[in-house]
Structure 1
Amino acid sequence: CVCVRTAARQLDRNLTFHKLVAYMIALHTAIHIIAHLFNFERFMDSQLMINSSYLPYVLSQIGNNDNRSYLNPIRTNETNPTIVMFTTIAGLTGVVITLALILIITSSMEVIRRSYFEVFWFTHHLFIVFFIGLVLHGVGRIVRGQTIESVKVHKPDECHSRFEDWGKNGTDCPEPVFAGNPPMTWKWVVGPMILYVCERLVRFYRSQQKVVITKVVMHPSKTLELQMKKKGFKMEVGQYVFIKCPSISQLEWHPFTLTSAPEEDHLSVHIRIVGDWTQALYTACGGDKTVVQDAWTLPKVAVDGPFGTASEDVFRYEVVMLVGAGIGVTPFASVLKSVWYKHVQENKNVFTKKIYFYWLCPETQAFEWFADLLQSLERQMMEKDMSDFLSYNIYLTRWKDAEAAHFRVQYEAEDDPITGLKQKTRYGKPNWDNEFSAIATQHPGSKVGVFLCGPTALATALGKQCISHTESGTEFIFNKENF
């Protein structure tokens, strides 16, 4: 089981692998272009006998009579790299491939993905143009070499220094014969393309399965909660789905982390309204209306998934630290719900006795929808006399002066003025050294699972804390979740 989970987690890093492959494609494309620019300059110099020894010039003149058995693809003195670029198959497809790659890379920057997801989504599909151009790139056979038959009679090692005698009567070095190398790229592309087409067919089949929106909740912070039902749908904590709304776009699928628990009879997602597509979905679900919408007026949606590795490891530790930053808190909604359900059902496979939950957020509006969940858990745990099971620490990392004044006035209130919880919101950032020391003191000799969904800088800091505080006797095991 451990090996399977480890392998699954490696596969779940497909996004990192995808980015690394993209960087390597971009790097080798740049190297390829630069090499050809130098190559074309040498071809032209050889054709014009400029900055060239006599041998390259002789090689460039081969094939002038029949224009078939040539080596130098530049067949005239009146040309330049620009003309070659736009008059050859290799040049034209090279320009198209390069432009497609530039658009894909530039539109993949985080600022574009976050604010203009549709631009990122559609531009990313230029990979189809990229691969078609890649397959056609070598059709013109501009890269040429000596034929096998010619090598047998014109041996390069023996004849390269006797180029003045090539083709003369009585010589054992006839004029070499050259031919273009056949295109090979299709052999590397056809397999992945077949897999891609199969994946699209599976997604199309899944998109035809009926999904019913059973409940829509409009949270004050322009966060849309959709509760849905789909026959045969099974999930685990920490997974995500792709959602399409045909009335908005027939092509766009958007990924969202599941916030429901496996024990619930529905699946739910929380969607922040940050782009054109999410705004259109918000409007279609009646977010801009004050009256309750009838179920039949709600838009039809398609759900594909779930995907991702289940975060079942959370349940394998007696003590757990959950750390979410900003929207990174979303997957922990499913985790917290599932842990609660498992305890209520007295599931013997759950070893968790204590959860320390940390949430770092830069704005008060983001607290609203998740605070509802925490309030519900807080109330249920008090009813079950399990108040000590969950300790939550919410940190507001940025605030305005007016907000600070209001918080000071309301601080003595029984409930927190921001979240409505019994536990007060803290300001600034946690002192992780103190937090880890306190947990190590509370749980000596225990194994503590530390789960983070947040930025790399925070992951680095927590990883160092796990290492330094493990020496104290309590073992901290760091897990960076990929949601």
Structure 2
Amino acid sequence: SQLLMQLINCQKELHIFSSWQVLLDSLVHTFAHHIGTFTALERTTAEELNKAFVCARDPTELPAGYLALKTFQYPICPLPANADIGYFDGVLSTPGITGYLLLIVICLLGWASSAKVRHARFRVFYQFHHFLVPAWVILLVLHGANGWVGLGFPLVILVAGIPIAAYTWTRSRRAYLAWFCPSTVLAAEKSLNGKLVRIEVQLSSGYRKCSVGEYAYINIPSISRFEWHPFTISNSKDDETGGQLITFCIMSVGRWTQKLKDACAGHAFPRVNIDDPFYAPTVSMPLHSTVVGIGAGVGVTPFLSFLGSLAASQVSQERQHAHVFWMSAWATDFLLFKDLFAQLETQGGNTKCHLHATPRWDGRGLGCLFDLASRDIWNDWVRRLAARSSETVPTFCHYPKPLHAVVSGSTLESETPLVIVVGRPDFVAELLAIGHADLREHVFVYCCGNDSLKEGIQTACVACNKHNESSGYMQRFYFYHERFG
């Protein structure tokens, strides 16, 4: 359903919201203990407290399944008749100490998850999560060890038992895969600028069939035995042994990905472990008639997976409109998937790839020379297109500020001229043109990129919806966003 898709689409925001909610609720909970529970301990006698505490009841009166953790109880329960319990006995009790430790754990997780720390020290972010999340669960169990109130069983198990079981299963499965089910890297190729690396991995028959747009976690033991990183599967096909050949396109932006690129530079490729393909928003792309995929840099990989499925089947013949926009600061990145473009060219159909080179325009990069060299060539090409038919002139030539492009003969193996646009697309103009090709169908727009790109495309979809509403059209533009950062 659309509601479920939107929930999956904003999973990161829900995760962040839940974390803030846990922190705020914990602070309120702690404050309530200080003004309520701990002050009540000081004003109440031990005999009265024993009557109120569940842990002080006769064993025959305890709730069914009562779990006694007397080893961790402080103060001991039931309280001695002559015990003098005060405010600081509550502060230094097992619930008090574990409560403060829980607050420290939550604050450390929040600090490590901040954008600044996550981008600069990803390994700190990664390790904090994998050590502190289990610690948080253990501390919550100990937090209720005194058994003053409640069911006599760790409430965290009842409330969060399913997520804890799923987390434990995931960690156990990855340990099993790392030791007993290694996969094989068959080929690796770098882009001309060295920023992107494309690797092909052979999976055994034990893995389920990969679907369009899914992602998998990769572990390279020679780099780090415990680090797993998510990457979108850009292509998948069956091999002769009954397994699968899957392709990843990875950008070297950090220490781990740089080491991966270096490890794949020679002829002896490293051992690799793969954790099952997982669902992503782009999985729903084949279900719709009119779809648009927009990726910046390595963010195009979910849509390359979609293109790969079209190249290997006849789906594109049944589809009315399928468009993929690929923006890259390095135009030579497009050469990394010449084989995929060749398959699409051979098959034909209604799939359209829009390649946009977005080099630097600050006067220091090669982008300025690229801009200057392409201007006259492209203007001449447009004049010739217009002379044949005005309908053959590309959409971006009609922008408020028209872009120009170069015509490449080396991107396709057939050497058919292919247009590479210089500059970013005008998404409102492009999406309206795609939608108006068939106003009976809704347009489903998928984006994989940074927050700036996301906001720009989301704004464009809103503008397109307002334009159609004012024009009396029923067509709507639906937006989905995918990212791992």
1:372 alignment partner in structure 2: 336
In structure 1, which of residues 24, 30, 35 is the aligned counterpart of residue 32 of structure 2? 35
State the secondary structure of the residue aligned to 2:322.
Answer: strand
Residue number in structure 2 paired with 1:212: 184
TM-score, scaled to structure 1: 0.71
Once the two structures are TM-superposed, the CA of residue 214 in structure 1 deviates from its matched residue by 0.3
Quick check: 1:329–1:453 contact (8 Å CA) kept in 2? Answer: yes
- Is the counterpart of residue 108 in structure 1 residue 70 in structure 2? no
Shift of 1:447: 4.0
Answering whether residue 301 of structure 2 is matched by residue 334 of structure 1, we say no
Cα pair 1:223 1:272 within 8 Å, conserved: yes
1:279 and 2:258 are equivalent in the alignment: yes
The CA deviation string for residues 84-105 of structure 1, in whole angstroms up to 9 with x for no partner, is 54x3212221222111111112
225, 232, 235: which one aligns with 2:198:
225
- Counterpart CA distance in 1 for 2:11 and 2:114 is 18
Alpha-carbon distance, 1:358 to partner: 2.5
Identity %: 22
Looking at CA atoms only, which structure, 1 or 2, has the larger radius of gyration? 1
Q: Aligned runs of 1:43-82 on 2, under 5 Å?
A: 43=40, 47=42, 57=43, 59-60=44-45, 75=84
Retained in 1: the 8 A contact 2:281–2:481? no
In structure 1, distance between residues paired with 2:466 and 2:29: 46
Deviations 1:7-51 (A, max 9, x none): 57756765454333323212211211222233367458xx4xxxx
Q: Within the alignment, does 1:236 sit opposite 2:211 as a pair?
A: yes
Match of 1:174 in 2: none
Give the 5 Å matches for 1:45-194.
47=42, 57=43, 59-60=44-45, 75=84, 85=91, 87-125=92-130, 126-141=132-147, 143=148, 182=152, 184-188=154-158, 189-194=160-165
Q: Take 2:359 and 2:221, find their aligned partners in 1: how far apart are those partners?
A: 39
Structure 1 contact 321–355 (Cα < 8 Å) conserved: yes
Cα RMSD for the two superposed structures: 4.0
Larger displacement relative to structure 2 (392-401 or 236-245): 392-401
- Secondary structure in structure 1 of the residue aligned to 2:324: strand
What per-residue deviation string (whole Å, max 9, x for no partner) do you get for residues 335-393 of structure 1? 12222332xxxx268522443333455xx24x5434532x5555555556x49741415
Q: TM-score, normalization: structure 2?
A: 0.71
Partner of 1:416: 406
**Is 1:356 matched with 2:323?**
yes
Tell me the equivalent position of 2:455: 457
1:303 corresponds to: 274
1:128 to partner: Cα distance: 0.7
Equivalent pairs counted in the alignment come to 410
SS at match of 2:101: helix
Aligned partner of 1:268 among 243, 247, 263: 247
Please give the secondary structure, in 2, of the residue aligned with 1:274. coil
- State the 1:434 CA deviation: 2.4
Gaps of 5+ in 1: 48-56, 145-179, 287-292
Deviation at 1:406, TM superposition (A): 0.8
1:439 corresponds, among 434, 438, 453, to 434
Residue deviations 1:269-322, cap 9 Å, x none?
122222232233233323xxxxxx233xx2111111111147454334444322
> 1:64 & 1:356 partners in 2: Cα distance?
70
- 1:437/1:309 Cα in 2 relative to 1: closer, same or farther (>3 Å)? closer
1:252 — aligned with what?
A: 227
Specify the alignment match of 2:57 in structure 1. none
Match of 1:19 among 11, 16, 36: 16
Q: Aligned to 2:26, what secondary structure does the other structure show?
A: helix
Q: 1:482 to 1:370 in 2, by over 3 A?
A: same
Does the C-alpha gap of structure 1 residues 356 and 39 become closer, same or farther in structure 2, counting only changes over 3 Å?
same
Q: Secondary structure at the match of 1:224?
A: strand
**Residue identity in the other structure for 2:126:** W
What is the distance in 2 between the residues matched to 1:71 and 1:426? 81
Question: SS at the partner of 1:237?
Answer: coil
Deviation of residue 424 (structure 1)?
Answer: 3.4
Aligned equivalents of 1:438, 1:276: Cα separation in 2: 42
Question: Once the 2 structures are TM-superposed, how far is the Cα of residue 191 of structure 1 from its aligned partner?
Answer: 4.9
Instruction: Report the counterpart of residue 364 of structure 2 in structure 1.
Output: 402
- What is the alpha-carbon distance in structure 2 between the residues aligned to residue 389 and residue 349 of structure 1? 7
Unaligned runs of 5+ in 2: 51-75, 379-404, 412-417
Distance 1:467 1:339 in 2: 28
- Take 2:349 and 2:153, find their aligned partners in 1: how far apart are those partners? 69
Query: How far 1:115 moved relative to its partner?
Result: 3.6
Q: What letter is aligned with 1:416?
A: V
Partner of 2:466: 468
Alignment CA distance shift 1:74-1:326 (3 Å): farther
